[in-house]
Amino acid sequence: MKEKIHPYKQYENTHLWELINSAIEDLITNQDIELTTRKEYVIGYLCKVINSDLNEDYAN
């Protein structure tokens, strides 16, 4: 099976990715959320937003 590519590859294998992935897994396991979008897109988007915000804070 061919691996599906997503636009957030740059965030994979980062500590932030692992933290968000773990939190999402907990929420799914506890049945607090149900994902209808590929998890890589959810995690990647959150990494992008958090990373962007952190970079903006350091620039100020």
Q: Give, in order, the Cα–Cα distances in Å from 10 to each of 32, 49, 51.
A: 28, 13, 11
pTM for the model stands at 0.83
DSSP codes joined into one string, 1-60? -PPPP-TTGGGTTSHHHHHHHHHHHHHHHTTS----S-HHHHHHHHHHHHHHHHHHHHH-
Per-residue pLDDT tens digits for 17-52: 999 999 999 999 999 999 999 999 999 999 999 999
- What pLDDT score was predicted for residue 4? 75
Query: Domain residues of the chain, as ranges?
Result: 9-59
Q: Over 80: is that where the pLDDT of 57 sits?
A: no
pLDDT at res. 27: 98
